[in-house]
Amino acid sequence: MTNAQITLIQIDNYGPWTVTPEPRREVDLQTLQSRLYADLSQLIGNREGYVFFTRFDNMVAVTNGLSLDDHALVQESVGNRYPVTVSLSVATGTNPVQALHDATELLQDAGSAQDHSRREILDGRTIDEEFRTDDDVQIAHFDVNDMTGNYTDEVNAFDSFIHIEQGYAELMRYMREAHDSLSFFVGGDNVIAVCPNLTESDYEDAIRHVKESVEVDLKVGVGQGRVPQDAGMDAKHALETCRATGSKIEFE
Amino acid sequence: MTNAQITLIQIDNYGPWTVTPEPRREVDLQTLQSRLYADLSQLIGNREGYVFFTRFDNMVAVTNGLSLDDHALVQESVGNRYPVTVSLSVATGTNPVQALHDATELLQDAGSAQDHSRREILDGRTIDEEFRTDDDVQIAHFDVNDMTGNYTDEVNAFDSFIHIEQGYAELMRYMREAHDSLSFFVGGDNVIAVCPNLTESDYEDAIRHVKESVEVDLKVGVGQGRVPQDAGMDAKHALETCRATGSKIEFE
Amino acid sequence: MTNAQITLIQIDNYGPWTVTPEPRREVDLQTLQSRLYADLSQLIGNREGYVFFTRFDNMVAVTNGLSLDDHALVQESVGNRYPVTVSLSVATGTNPVQALHDATELLQDAGSAQDHSRREILDGRTIDEEFRTDDDVQIAHFDVNDMTGNYTDEVNAFDSFIHIEQGYAELMRYMREAHDSLSFFVGGDNVIAVCPNLTESDYEDAIRHVKESVEVDLKVGVGQGRVPQDAGMDAKHALETCRATGSKIEFE
Amino acid sequence: MTNAQITLIQIDNYGPWTVTPEPRREVDLQTLQSRLYADLSQLIGNREGYVFFTRFDNMVAVTNGLSLDDHALVQESVGNRYPVTVSLSVATGTNPVQALHDATELLQDAGSAQDHSRREILDGRTIDEEFRTDDDVQIAHFDVNDMTGNYTDEVNAFDSFIHIEQGYAELMRYMREAHDSLSFFVGGDNVIAVCPNLTESDYEDAIRHVKESVEVDLKVGVGQGRVPQDAGMDAKHALETCRATGSKIEFE
Ligand SMILES: Nc1nc2c(ncn2[C@@H]2O[C@H](COP(=O)(O)OP(=O)(O)OP(=O)(O)O)[C@@H](O)[C@H]2O)c(=O)[nH]1
Ligand SMILES: Nc1nc2c(ncn2[C@@H]2O[C@H](COP(=O)(O)OP(=O)(O)OP(=O)(O)O)[C@@H](O)[C@H]2O)c(=O)[nH]1
Ligand SMILES: Nc1nc2c(ncn2[C@@H]2O[C@H](COP(=O)(O)OP(=O)(O)OP(=O)(O)O)[C@@H](O)[C@H]2O)c(=O)[nH]1
Ligand SMILES: Nc1nc2c(ncn2[C@@H]2O[C@H](COP(=O)(O)OP(=O)(O)OP(=O)(O)O)[C@@H](O)[C@H]2O)c(=O)[nH]1
Ligand SMILES: [Ca+2]
Ligand SMILES: [Ca+2]
Ligand SMILES: [Ca+2]
Ligand SMILES: [Ca+2]
């Protein structure tokens, strides 16, 4: 049984800030957003969690192993170094979609994302140490087969990207609806999903669905662990096994 | 008539590097990628260009105003500060898709993205100073209507994101096929497109198409200028006019 | 009794790297060095440690509370994201100078700072959990009195800086020789020292010495704690008490 | 004849900010300061200027080749991405110390460094294009002889650093008083100086003085150019000639 701890990270009142007093230079917004994401990756990653950039103004993290105090430190550090602040809400559950749903609700109850008086919320609960197990996190690392040979080196960069985006959009929606999983594009031709206890045939189903709907060929490595870093690293090793053996699905 | 100068930025031999000698920690790859993007935003932005993260291992920039020497400096600076290097290829044209196509071909001709001896290519040509005009770049800034009130504050963070992704996937594909434009997600509920000389009815068509296919409601501000920064800032001001007047399409 | 845990961080073979194959652009070296330092500040700071930039190619950290595994993660993360690697050696003791001496020796025994085959050393020992106490770290935060009114707003920026540098050079040397302390410039007019169990009269002595030798007027706040962050924050509060009451030395 | 263009960069009202509402975590201040410096290095370096971290809250740049508009863009970009803002003032002259003096005065006249209503000043004048020459900037790159063999690999890291600091403190003061030059520590055992038209015997004098006063053995490479990047790179090549030939002073 998995038990994911999911954190929603929301930049406070960001929309209005981007246009006050005048629209701000896009390159600066891009820099701000991507560096904030990079910092969160390091701070949460330093405690073996994972963060996904998602919309950049709303990011999703898997934080098994991080306490609320650990969250508070991240929040304080962002507040000290950026012109914007972040709110964090945490929820847990066997179903990652439900956990994110609960985390979202907590934040919504505290006020609108564009309420300028709702700032630096830190709410929710983490998994008690005694209930943590070595199977709490299942992570699946999806990858497009021979993207380089078939696309990157062959068609123009935008059509390659459309191909990946199509695969990603279909995978993310299907994994969410059919398999209660949260899937995130992580660059290149890779998608990482946070899943409940899925089986080999669930992954087969998802890969087949994407192949049939949008003709994108995927392989997937799956890992499970106490913390995201362990599950994710196992998933990467499993993916290397796919590469070595030509198989489509591997569990480490 | 527009005359976009498009640069393709490709991390050299990145796929193999990410798994050599062992798969590298995902949080570090995320940090590396997003900081590289942030740096390019600053360096290219400092000369009034725009960069889009796209796949992160392949990024697309609009670089009207940057010479090949300016590109070389960016390339050298990346090489001095990152464990990876980048190749850059530049092409120009009235049709941004064609320009990116040409830039891609240049790079493909120099060798595979995963050829470890193909490194730090710098190729292509920029627009001669005498041929540059004040209409060279058309930029459209698309935004979802009342995303916060209808989604961010209402449904769970992942379903909000799926809504945006659907809109984006549809818009990017349609704008590419019907209107020869390159569209990029830039965070939040925003998409920025680099377009040839499109008219109001072209934008109407695109917005209608997205609304009909995936029920995502867009507005758009359009700007035109000598350099991306001017066109993009005009587009933002036009979008503010949409917000103020309730209109769906504004040209600045 | 204090028991400082000191980590020496050394960029491997950095001198030769800066000029291979040709001297590298100074602005890139500056960026690399200061960002590496910033990252270490975040990674070590996220576990309540302190880092000082010192020479940038050799940095000193106070790491009470960080295990060797924590150090290994930092080392791996740097290796994944920079074109250079770092070696880390750790030693402990009641006397911070002696601890740094021991840490230095460990690294020197492993090979030269400019031996290109000596890479990513991780050596030394941390304080066993059972021997850690709430007094392990004493930190003193020194600050020049009314630097702004007397210098920054009055003389030219370089002469202001010479004034600070003189005070710093004298303080660092005297604190090392007379009081077995490691003092580091941290920007502005501030110096932070890692000290053994010093008393109020020791600080009086140091402040008097600096005043007499180079006419720089200091005040100091002192804190003590289990980890650098607690000791350092107490020192800052003590310094605020100096500011409020006009006193020259405060212990929190 | 040199004609340096010097920019003083001052964080606005930084002292009060660091303790409002409570003292902020030192590791966050360190991160903020060093990243701001890194960003300025990239932005100013992208236009062939040099920046020195100096006090971090007051930095000094050599900006031959940057217009006031270029400065404005840097200022805007910092304001968009940091919780603090910066003021910039620019002055020029054959004597770098005098130029910094004039730049400082401009800023002081606009208000105190700790006046919370004095923000984002941009003042001064740059060298008119027609008056710029290929000899405008003279840069000297000083380096301690065999620092690694005599110190880094031999004595403890702090005593090595004290040795460098002594050399630096003496050099900076002497170069300022005897030779109207601004000298800055740039990490490792290196100091870079911005000089008026100095001769070989001036450098001989400075090296001798430092050797006699504090027993630090220096060599120096000197370059001259239209912009700091060219002068600085020439200085580095000259220093490599010192290394190759064993000489103490080389002009490129
Ligand atoms: N985020 C992330 N991206 C990766 C990782 N491995 C590869 N990538 C990305 O995926 C891109 C394509 O690399 P590969 O998947 O190795 O190449 P391929 O041509 O598709 O080959 P196969 O997958 O082996 O069939 C790279 O440029 C990276 O951007 C990873 O572990 N994490
Ligand atoms: N990259 C980028 N993102 C922006 C910009 N403006 C807003 N956003 C993003 O869009 C998100 C939503 O903000 P808005 O579009 O202002 O909010 P909304 O609720 O959709 O309201 P309306 O668009 O006014 O109907 C913000 O959180 C930002 O992430 C911009 O100029 N650039
Ligand atoms: N690293 C660091 N620097 C600080 C801190 N507080 C202040 N500074 C620096 O010190 C500079 C001067 O600020 P203050 O010391 O407050 O100003 P002052 O004019 O000397 O006034 P008093 O110290 O109150 O007499 C600031 O610009 C900062 O660079 C701190 O907590 N940490
Ligand atoms: N900022 C900067 N630092 C440098 C540069 N070159 C070397 N360093 C620094 O200087 C340190 C010592 O390197 P070297 O000066 O090459 O070594 P050394 O042992 O003193 O040898 P010699 O100078 O050749 O006698 C390095 O660790 C770097 O920190 C440079 O170009 N710029
Ligand atoms: Ca692949
Ligand atoms: Ca919107
Ligand atoms: Ca002070
Ligand atoms: Ca040296």
What pLDDT digit, counting tens, does each position of D69-86 carry?
999 999 999 999 999 999
Q: Which of residues 62-101 of D touch A (CB under 8 A)?
A: 76-77, 80-83
Q: Do A35 and B31 touch (CB under 8 A)?
A: no
CA separation, residue C203 to residues C1, C189, C196, D123 (Å): 17, 17, 12, 42
A190, A219, A242, A250: residue to mutate for ligand 1 pocket, most atoms within 8 A of CB: A190
Whose tokens are 């002595």? That residue is: C205
The DSSP output letter for D8 is E
Q: Which of D69, D97, D131 is the last residue of a domain?
A: D131
Read off φ and ψ for residue D127, nearest 5 degrees: -75, 130
**Strand pairing category for D122-124 and D190-195:** unpaired
In this structure, the answer to whether residues A52 and A111 fall within a common structural domain is: yes
Sheet holding C86-93, edge to edge: C50-52, C58-62, C4-11, C86-93, C122-124
In this structure, the answer to whether residues D218 and D168 fall within a common structural domain is: yes
CA separation, residue B167 to residues B47, D95, D183 (Å): 31, 60, 56
C143, C160, C248: residue to mutate for ligand 3 pocket, most atoms within 8 A of CB: C143
In sequence order, what are the residues at sequence separation of 6 or more whose Cβ sits closer than 8 angstroms to the Cβ of residue C149?
none
pLDDT of residue B147: 92
In this structure, the answer to whether residues C15 and C126 fall within a common structural domain is: yes
pLDDT of residue A208: 98
B47 touches chain D (CB under 8 A): yes
Read off φ and ψ for residue D181, nearest 5 degrees: -115, 155
In this structure, the answer to whether residues D125 and D150 fall within a common structural domain is: no
Please report which confidence band the pLDDT of residue C148 belongs to, taking 50, 70 and 90 as the band edges. very high
In sequence order, what are the residues at sequence separation of 6 or more whose Cβ sits closer than 8 angstroms to the Cβ of residue C102?
C91, C93, C124
Task: Identify which of B193, B175, B196, B222 has the alpha carbon closest to the alpha carbon of residue B98.
Answer: B196
CA angle in degrees (0–180, nearest 5) for C76-C80-C83: 115
In this structure, the answer to whether residues A29 and A102 fall within a common structural domain is: yes
Contact (CB, 8 A) for A135 and A1: yes
In this structure, the answer to whether residues A92 and A71 fall within a common structural domain is: yes
Q: Do A42 and C42 touch (CB under 8 A)?
A: yes
Collect all residues of chain D within an 8 Å Cβ-Cβ radius of residue C112.
148, 153
Give the domain CATH number at C205. 3.30.70.270
**Strand pairing category for A190-195 and C50-52:** unpaired
Q: How many Å apart are CA A153 and CA A142, to the nearest integer?
A: 21
Q: Which of D80, D111, D131 is the last residue of a domain?
A: D131
pLDDT of residue A240: 97
Read off φ and ψ for residue D65, nearest 5 degrees: 105, -15
In this structure, the answer to whether residues A197 and A118 fall within a common structural domain is: no
pLDDT of residue D190: 98
pLDDT of residue A232: 98
- Closest protein CA for atom 21 of ligand 2: B146
Pair of tokens at residue C47: 């576990």
Bridge partners (DSSP) listed for residue D137: D225
Q: For chain C, how many helices (H) and strands (E)?
A: 8, 10
pLDDT of residue A181: 98
pLDDT of residue B215: 95
Q: How many Å apart are CA A49 and CA A139, to the nearest integer?
A: 12
pLDDT of residue C15: 96
pLDDT of residue B90: 98
* Structural domain count of chain A: 2
Pair of tokens at residue C191: 């110096």
A233 touches chain B (CB under 8 A): yes
Contact (CB, 8 A) for D122 and D88: yes
**Torsion over CA: B110, B111, B117, B120 (sign):** positive
Of C76, C77, C83, the CB nearest to B81: C83
Instruction: Please compute, for residue B101, the number of CA atoms within 13 A of its CA located in the half-sphere on the CB side.
Output: 11
Of B46, B73, B77, the CB nearest to D73: B46
What are the tens digits of pLDDT across the range C202-250? 999 999 999 999 999 999 999 999 999 999 999 999 999 999 999 999 9
In this structure, the answer to whether residues A148 and A233 fall within a common structural domain is: yes
Of B30, B97, B108, the CB nearest to A41: B30
Q: How many Å apart are CA D245 and CA C132, to the nearest integer?
A: 53
C180 SS3 class:
coil
pLDDT of residue B38: 98
Give the residues of chain B that fall short of pLDDT 70: none
Q: A83, exposed or middle or buried, with CB in 10 Å at 0-12, 13-18, 19+?
A: middle
Q: How many Å apart are CA D204 and CA D218, to the nearest integer?
A: 10
Q: Which of C131, C150, C181 is the last residue of a domain?
A: C131
Tell me the one-letter amino acid at C225. Answer: G
Contact (CB, 8 A) for B58 and A157: yes
In this structure, the answer to whether residues D32 and D123 fall within a common structural domain is: yes
For residue C46, the distance in angstroms to the closest alpha carbon of chain A comes to 7
Task: Identify which of C88, C90, C122, C124 has the alpha carbon closest to the alpha carbon of residue C10.
Answer: C88
For residue A247, the Cα-to-chain-centroid distance in whole angstroms is 25
Q: What are the 10-residue block averages of pLDDT along chain D, 252 residues in total?
A: 97 96 97 98 98 98 98 98 98 97 96 94 97 98 94 93 96 98 98 98 98 97 98 98 97 95
In this structure, the answer to whether residues C22 and C97 fall within a common structural domain is: yes
Q: How many Å apart are CA D15 and CA D113, to the nearest integer?
A: 9
- Closest protein CA for atom 14 of ligand 1: B15
Give the domain CATH number at D92. 3.30.70.1230
Q: How many Å apart are CA D167 and CA B132, to the nearest integer?
A: 53
D34 touches chain A (CB under 8 A): no
For residue B49, the Cα-to-chain-centroid distance in whole angstroms is 11
In this structure, the answer to whether residues D13 and D90 fall within a common structural domain is: yes
Cβ(A67) to ligand 1 under 6 A?
no
Give the domain range for residue D69: 4-131
Please report which confidence band the pLDDT of residue C110 belongs to, taking 50, 70 and 90 as the band edges. very high
Task: Specify the DSSP element, H or E, that contains D194.
Answer: strand D190-195
CA separation, residue C166 to residues A111, C157, D11, D165, D172 (Å): 52, 14, 22, 10, 10
Pair of tokens at residue A99: 């956990």
In this structure, the answer to whether residues C143 and C204 fall within a common structural domain is: yes
Query: Would the ipTM clear 0.95, i.e. be above it?
Result: yes
DSSP code string of A160-193: HHHHHHHHHHHHHHHHHHHH--EEEE-STTEEEE
Give the residues of chain A that fall short of pLDDT 70: none
Collect all residues of chain C within an 8 Å Cβ-Cβ radius of residue B81.
28, 31-32, 35, 82-83
pLDDT of residue C121: 97
DSSP alpha helix (H) spans, B20-128: 26-45, 68-81, 96-110
D34 touches chain C (CB under 8 A): yes
Task: Identify which of B121, B128, B17, B18 has the alpha carbon closest to the alpha carbon of residue B75.
Answer: B121
Contact (CB, 8 A) for A114 and B68: no
Contact (CB, 8 A) for A104 and A89: yes
